[in-house]
Amino acid sequence: MKLESILATLHEEGFLPEAGVSQAARPTVWYLRVLAGLGAWLATLFLVFFWALLASESFGLGCFLGLAQCLAAGLLASRTRHEMLHQVSLSLWLTGTCLMASCFEKQFHLEPLGLGVMLLLMSVPYPESQGRFLTALAGALLLLVGGEEAVPLDVWVGPLALLAGFHYLNQTPLWWRGLGPRTATFAGVAVLTMLAALCSSFWGWSKHPAGPSSTALLTLACLWLSSRVLRRLQVGAAISLVCWMGLLAVGGLTFNSPGVMGAVAVLLVARESRSRWLTAMGWIYLLTFGSAYFYNLNLDANAKSLTLMALGGLLLWLRRRLTGPA
C-alpha cells in the first residue's frame, strides 16, 4: 500500500483528521538526499585527514577525538531531521568509529574477532539507522573473517537466517515495541553477512565452507515458510504439492551450493514481508549463485545451454500452470 492509501484508510477509519500527506513530513526528494550525502562525504574527506594527522600523535588523543566525534554524531542524529545535518552526523560517526577502531587495533593488536565485537557493540546504541547499519555490517564481516578458522561457515548460516527471518516475519510487534529500528538493522546485516559467507564458501575463500547442511537447513526453512503461506491462503493440495516438490527438487539439485536455496528463501521472505530491499537482495543472491552454479556445472557448453533453455521453458510453463486462468 502506498503512503497515500494508508493515510486515506486511517482517515476513513477515524484515526486521522485529514487524508493527505503532510508537506512537512513528506520524505526528502531523492536529489536533495544525494546532494546532502555527496556534500557531507566530500567535507568528511578533508576532515578525516585533519583528524588523522592530529590523532597520529597518541593513542589517548586518537581515542578522545574518535569518541568525541561518535558522541557528537549520536547527539546530532537523534535531534535533527535536516538532510544535510543528518549526513554530517553520519560522516562524523563513521570517521569516529574508524579512528577508534584503528587506535585500538594499533595499541592492543586486536584481531578481527575483537574488532568485530567492538564495532557491533558500538553500533547498538547509535540512534540513526544508516550509521548503525554500516558499523554493524563492518563488525559482522570482521567476525566472519576472524572466526572462519575455528568455526565452519555452516554454523553461521542457521543463526543468520533465523535472525533475518525473525525480524521480517514479525515486523508489526517489533516496530510497535520500539525495537523495529534495531532489529531491522541487524536483520539487514544478517542477510548481507549470509551472502558474504555463502560467496566465500562458493569461491573457496574459506577453510570450512558452507555445504549440504546449510542447503538442508535453508530448504527446511523454505518448506516451513511456504507451508505457512499456503495454509493461510487455503490453497489446494495439488498446488501445495507442486510447490513443495519444486523446493525439494531445487534443494536436491543444488545440494552442494547453498546459495541458490538462500536466494529462494530470501525471495520468499521478501514477498511475505513486503520488503523491497529484501526483494532486491534476493535477486542479487539468485543472479550471483545461479550463474556461479551453472558456470561450475561439469558439462560442456552445448549441454549447459540446452539445460538453461530447458530450465527457462520449465519456469515459463510453471508460470502458466500456477498463475494462468483457473
Partner 1 sequence: MSSASIEEVANYADRENWPADTRVRAYALATRPVQLDEWRSFLDQNLLAGGSLAFLCGATLFVSAHWHLLGAYGKFILCDLLLLGLALSAWRAGLDRPQSRWALTVAGGLVGAILGLYSQTYPSDRPAYLFFLLWGGLILPWTLLTRFEPAWALWVIIGNGAMISAELDPNLVGMANLGWWLLAVRFRGRWGWPQLPMVFSWLWLTGVGLTSVFSKDDPVALGCWLLWLIVTTAYAYRTRMKGTLAALGFSLILMITAGLLRAMGRWNEMSWLLILGVAVTVQVALLIWALRRMPE
CB of 151 to partner 1, least distance (A): 32
User: Of the candidates 219, 200, 305, 317, which has an alpha carbon nearest to the alpha carbon of residue 260?
Assistant: 219
The answer to whether 199 touches 241, Cβ cutoff 8 Å, is: no
> Which residues does 305 contact at the CB level (< 8 Å), separation at least 6?
none
Scanning 116-124, 203-211, 251-259, 312-320 for contacts with partner 1 by CB under 8 A, the matching segment is 312-320
Nearer to partner 1, 64 or 283 (CB): 283
Q: Does 271 bind partner 1 (CB under 8 A)?
A: yes
Backbone dihedral region of 324: left (phi > 0), alpha (psi from -120 to 50 degrees) or beta? beta
Q: Does 229 bind partner 1 (CB under 8 A)?
A: yes
> Judged by CB under 8 A, which of 83, 128, 148, 154 binds partner 1?
83
User: Of the candidates 153, 161, 7, 134, which has an alpha carbon nearest to the alpha carbon of residue 77?
Assistant: 134
Nearer to partner 1, 102 or 213 (CB): 102
The answer to whether 198 touches 289, Cβ cutoff 8 Å, is: yes
> Judged by CB under 8 A, which of 61, 84, 155, 223 binds partner 1?
84
CB of 101 to partner 1, least distance (A): 21
CB of 240 to partner 1, least distance (A): 13
> Judged by CB under 8 A, which of 57, 204, 238, 315 binds partner 1?
315
Binding track, positions 91-130, relative to partner 1; x by CB under 8 A: --------------------------------------x-
Distance in Å from the first CA to the final CA of the chain: 26
d(CA 160, CA 194) in angstroms, rounded, equals 6
CB of 217 to partner 1, least distance (A): 23
Nearer to partner 1, 158 or 180 (CB): 180
d(CA 167, CA 197) in angstroms, rounded, equals 20
Grid coordinates representing 51 are 583528524
Q: Does 177 bind partner 1 (CB under 8 A)?
A: no
CB of 165 to partner 1, least distance (A): 15
Contact positions with partner 1 (CB under 8 A) in 239-268: 267
Quick check: helix, strand or coil at residue 80? coil
